[in-house]
């Protein structure tokens, strides 16, 4: 299984969502040292580093809209790779927000 970014989201009301993203992959997670999530530039502190492998490098936050999230993976051998993820935030009626 290759590494990929998974997500969950919950609508809070007033056009705001609470969401989390994490790195999915079985044995591949053992080769990851840490992840640098690069959020939309409107975020306070848009570059977030997560080092906790036990949570699959989970990031939890909230926002008012969808955007493309970038994740820089730093492997234990020093290699780096990048994954992109289009954050999907669903309205209460089930329709996605527009990025």
CA distance 22 to 98: 22
Confidence at 98, pLDDT banded by 50, 70, 90: confident
pTM for the full predicted model: 0.92
Instruction: Summarize pLDDT for 59-91 with one digit per residue, the tens.
Output: 999 999 999 999 999 999 999 999 999 999 999
* pLDDT classification of 97: cutoffs 50, 70, 90: confident
pLDDT of residue 16: 95
Q: Domains along the chain? A: 4-86 (2.60.40.1970)
Residue 42 φ/ψ region, left for φ over 0, alpha for ψ in the -120 to 50 degree band, beta for the rest: alpha
pLDDT for residue 57 is more than 80? yes
For 10-35, the pLDDT digits (tens) are 999 999 999 999 999 988 999 999 99
């Amino acid at each position: 299984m290759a590494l990929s970014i998974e997500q969950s989201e919950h609508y809070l009301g007033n056009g705001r969502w609470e969401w989390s993203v994490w790195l999915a992959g079985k044995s591949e997670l053992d080769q990851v040292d840490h992840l640098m999530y690069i959020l939309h530039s409107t975020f306070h502190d848009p570059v977030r580093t997560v080092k906790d492998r036990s949570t699959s490098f989970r990031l939890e936050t909230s926002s008012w809209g969808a955007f493309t999230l970038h994740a820089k993976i730093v492997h234990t051998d020093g290699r780096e790779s990048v994954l992109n993820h289009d954050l999907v935030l669903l309205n209460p009626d089930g329709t996605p927000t527009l990025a």
